Every structure is written in C-alpha cells, then in structure tokens.
Amino acid sequence: MKPKVAFICVHNSCRSQIAEALGKHFAWDVFESYSAGTETKTQINQDAVRLIKKIYNIDMEETQHSKLITVLPEIDIKITMGCNVICPFIDSKYEEDWGLDDPTGKSDEEFESVIAEIEKKVKELAMKVKSESLF
C-alpha cells in the first residue's frame, strides 16, 4: 500500500494545492497526495490554477478544493509549506517543512519559481519514499 502524504498550509489555497497536484502528477505511483489547512478559501488561488494549467496542463479545480485537516485520512507523511505560523498537529510517521514563500499576490515569475521548487521537492520526496529511507 502506498503511503499517504499530506501537504499542509494555513488556507489550503495555494502552495499545498500545487503540491497536491504535482504529487498526483509526478509521484502517483509512489504515494497518495492530499492537501489541507486549518482554514479554507472559497476557491483555489486563481494564479496557481492558471499557471499549473499553463505549465503542466493540469486543471486543479477539476479534482481539488480547499479543505480542512479534519477531513484527511490517516497520514504517513506530513509536509508543511512554511507558513511562518505554528502548523497544526497531524499525527504522522515522518514530516518535513519545505519553508516555501507564499507567492499569493506576487508576479508570475515568483509563482513559477515556487512551483518549480515544489516540483523539485515532490520528486525528491518520491525518491526518498522509493528508497524506503523514510520509515
């Protein structure tokens, strides 16, 4: 059974949603990707939706929405985005904080830089899970 990874940030509208989408895209065969937050937004960040569609041809709004951590299944790996706040407690066997800046309201170039960093980190996480060095 594949481990379940939760990408967590406060509003679950931007970085964690991008990580969920890229986890499903690049690591679907390695782990199950989820995202959630302690608060929700009415929609996923529209710049994130537009750029993920442009770069990867993935429509995040088709399969994803902003949700609370209370709806997550039992999680094996917790990834926090770097909210600069106390991240919520979620029981997991392994966790990392990716320390990503929130690109909300910033230029496309800054968004694309964060997206590229998330892609790199998702691929690195997949390699760690594959090598079983996490558990």
Distance of alpha carbon 96 from alpha carbon 92, whole angstroms: 11
Domain containing 105 equals: 4-130
Q: Is residue 110 part of a domain?
A: yes
| CATH assignment at residue 47 | 3.40.50.2300
Count structural domains, the chain.
1
Nearest-angstrom CA–CA distance, 70 and 134: 24
> Does residue 53 lie in a domain region?
yes
What pTM was computed for the model?
0.95
List the pLDDT tens digit at each of the 135 positions of the chain. Answer: 899 999 998 889 999 999 999 999 999 999 999 999 988 999 999 999 999 999 999 999 999 999 999 999 999 999 999 866 666 678 899 999 999 999 999 999 999 999 999 999 999 999 999 997 665
Q: Domain for residue 72, yes or no?
A: yes
Residue 99 is assigned to a structural domain of this protein = yes
What is d(CA 52, CA 44) in angstroms, rounded to the nearest whole number? 11
> Is 135 among the domain residues?
no
